[in-house]
Structure 1
Amino acid sequence: MDSSLPLSGREILVTREEKAAKGIADVIKQYGGIPHIVPLISFRPYEDEKESTYLEKLKSYDWIFFTSKNGVHFFFQKLKEHNLSIVGSPTKFAAVGEKTCRAMKSHGIQVDFVPKLYSGFDFAKEFVHSFPQAGRVLLSKGNLAKDTISSYFTERSMPIDEWITYETFFPDAIEKRLSSLLQEKKLSAVTFTSPSTVRGFMKIVNDNGLHEAMNGLAVVCIGPVTREAACRYGLTVQVVPERYTVEDMIDDLANYFISLKENREE
């Protein structure tokens, strides 16, 4: 182990969904840290009561929005189930974040708009400024996603439909593992990438009376929405990157621990 790396020897809890958690774990390892993957959320298809309507109207939308790679994955899964395709259609596409863009491109979709800042509010504000006459919009989202974008559009009398293509659920058999990790008090930090991961974490903490076990644990949130959720549970958040990416989140965590070490040495 290279002791010169900023996260050398530090054990970091990764609460993200299992398939996506590997990316965070790899970055943590690059900084010398020891990742512990305990997926507090998972995803599955959702049967929206208006699904048939959205499918029938699919080619009438001028824009389709995606705010996560899950929104992309489950959207195209739905289309595949119904033998539908939008590749080559005149519809334009907008995405929040680099990973969402990559997911879209893997399905042969050209991204026509990406905001400078990766939050729902910034996305809506930048998009409306750029395309005030956007036409009909469809948003693929999860069941727990906020209505920030749709509210922004509705307030300006701009038509938008929200299609819930997937839902978030809490996996079984992870409570014991997380409880053990917290009780051992070896963790240096916990990373949250969504409000759902915060809720799942705090449910286990509250149900098992593990509040003391969190003493000295740095709390890391990928963006302001997740930080807001953490604060509602009374957590003190030490790290939130300016750019809402996994790489920036872990980089800022590394800098946080470097600052702690330097302050102790003064």
Structure 2
Amino acid sequence: MVAAEEQEQPLGGRTILVTRAQEQAEALSSRLQALGAETVTFPVIRLAPPEDWGPLDRALLRLATDCEPGDAPYDWLVFTSVNGVRFCVERLRTLGLEPGLLRAARVAAIGPATAAALAEHGVSGVLVPEAYVAEQVASALLAACQQQGTGPQGQRVLLARAAEARRVLADTLRQAGMLVEEVPAYRTLPAADDDPRGQQVLALIKAGRLSLATFTSSSTVRYFMHWLEQACCEHAAETSPAALLARQGVAIACIGPITAAAARALGLQVTIEAQSFTIDGLVSAIVTYYRRLVETLPE
């Protein structure tokens, strides 16, 4: 019989690493803490403006151009992250424009969190795919074009996203005949190398006291493993980063299949892969894993 305390705080006694960017880490940490976990925040990425605001500025200014009905500069605006929405809204305001301009075209978002960020600025009726990955955004867009009777050919799409984002969405839309304008709204850069919290993380790993590492994007996996590899190089006796984590019993949790694939490509054994590709889905998957683990323990 599982104790009532374990039911209420199923993550009690677990130390969980949160690798998200500093401004986003709290959303995950607070959920895990509420379920009993001790969290260690170690942002391995930071978000930065694009190297050149010009492409984004020109695209946003086009939205402000007075057009005849049906002659808007874009048929679709596509956002693949909350960060893309945030940077676009901030840039609109810097240019003296209102976020409501994002309503100048139909809008698609990769998932509910991105749609919620748009809703905060009055953008509703957002197209959200059933599965929150770029491939499904493309499928949903193409299906929506067919349903509205226009077909995808010649549809103009503004895709504002991270400079390092995967190419699959833009490539798929172009192959279907859509006119895609890709503009970098922000960059994802490494942040861990000079962070003193890294020493605490490394000590927890080596002591076998880190229960779980969480990853919410491919970039968090890549930059964490890069940091850990550099840390291991300082200790000649250490094995590879992936082997160190496996040996010390650090479980790996990923927000979805794209992040999990990036982890496996770097040699990690993915323990938990969320079925709903959101923070809530990740937390739910972590709780399910540890509850099942407790149930298998001898009384």
Q: Aligned residue for 2:118?
A: 104
Q: Aligned residue for 2:235?
A: none
- Structure showing greater radius of gyration is 2
Q: Aligned residue for 1:124?
A: 138
Secondary structure of 1:137 counterpart? strand
Equivalent residue runs for 1:1-266 within 5 Å: 2-4=5-7, 5-46=9-50, 47-48=52-53, 50-58=55-63, 60-85=73-98, 87=100, 89-132=103-146, 133=151, 135-171=155-191, 172-173=194-195, 174-209=197-232, 211=241, 213-214=244-245, 215=247, 216-265=249-298
Equivalent AA in structure 1 for residue 19 of structure 2: T
Q: Deviations over 1:188-228 (max 9, x none)?
A: 10000011110111112211226354121110000111001
Q: Deviations over 1:49-97 (max 9, x none)?
A: 5335424433511111111110001111221222233626541211111
Cα separation, 2, equivalents of 1:127 and 1:73: 22
Per the alignment, do residues 90 and 50 of structure 1 end up closer, same or farther by CA in structure 2, a change over 3 Å counting? closer
Cα separation, 2, equivalents of 1:139 and 1:165: 9
- How far apart are 1:185 and its partner, in Å? 2.1
For structure 2, the residue ranges without an aligned partner over 5 or more in a row are 66-72, 233-237
Secondary structure of 2:100 counterpart? coil
Percentage of matched positions with identical amino acids: 30
Secondary structure of 1:187 counterpart? coil
Cα separation, 1, equivalents of 2:158 and 2:24: 25
**Greater mean deviation of Cα atoms: 208-217 or 147-156:** 208-217
- How far apart are 1:181 and its partner, in Å? 2.9
For structure 1, the residue ranges without an aligned partner over 5 or more in a row are none
Cα separation, 2, equivalents of 1:128 and 1:160: 13
Cα separation, 1, equivalents of 2:127 and 2:291: 37
Cα separation, 1, equivalents of 2:130 and 2:276: 9
Secondary structure of 1:32 counterpart? coil
- How far apart are 1:264 and its partner, in Å? 3.3
Q: TM-score normalized by structure 2?
A: 0.82
Q: Is the 8 A contact 2:110 2:129 kept in 1?
A: yes
Q: Aligned residue for 2:68?
A: none
Secondary structure of 2:87 counterpart? helix
RMSD of aligned C-alpha atoms? 2.1
